[in-house]
Amino acid sequence: MNDLIERIEAASEDSADLFRAAATAVFGTVPNAMNRFLAAGAFTDAAMMFVPKEGLCEINWYRGNGVGEDEATVWPAYGEELCFHCEAATAPLALSAAALKARAYLKETNNAD
């Protein structure tokens, strides 16, 4: 998962192939809803599918507006001092990477379904 997160953080633009690779890693397949979002160019909606449902208490998202990279932070409810922050070229990439970090933590600590 770490290699995939690094690829997402390093990407220069949204990529349907990268989102599909992440979906396969997380869900075992690419959900139909994600394929529809990607076909429509709705990368933000696709990124939201990676946000873990279990234990999620907050998402913060900052757009760089051409000045800097977009940022996203995901806080799981387990261990309120934890947060998973990422910067990437686009907001959907940043949100995807942060959500994947949160998912990996929840899985590692057995707090995920």
- How high is the pLDDT of residue 47? 93
Instruction: Give the number of domains in the chain.
Output: 1
Task: Give per-residue pLDDT as tens, 6-62.
Answer: 999 999 999 999 999 999 999 999 999 999 999 999 999 999 899 887 656 566 666
Tell me which residue range forms the domain holding 83: 2-108
In a domain, 27, yes or no: yes
Task: Give per-residue pLDDT as tens, 73-99.
Answer: 776 665 556 778 788 888 889 889 988
Q: At what angle do helices 32-39 and 16-27 cross, to 10 degrees?
A: 170
Q: Which of 42, 75, 43 is nearest to 59 (CA)?
A: 75
**Identity of the highest mean pLDDT range in 64-68, 97-101, 102-106:** 97-101
> Percent of the chain, pLDDT > 90?
45
Residues with Cβ within 8 Å of 68's Cβ and at least 6 positions away in sequence, in order, are: 87
In a domain, 113, yes or no: no
Cα–Cα dist 90/96, whole Å: 10
Query: How many other C-beta atoms lie within 10 A of the C-beta of residue 64?
Result: 15
Query: How many other C-beta atoms lie within 10 A of the C-beta of residue 85?
Result: 14
In a domain, 21, yes or no: yes
Distances (CA, A) of 76 to 20, 80, 103: 24, 7, 9
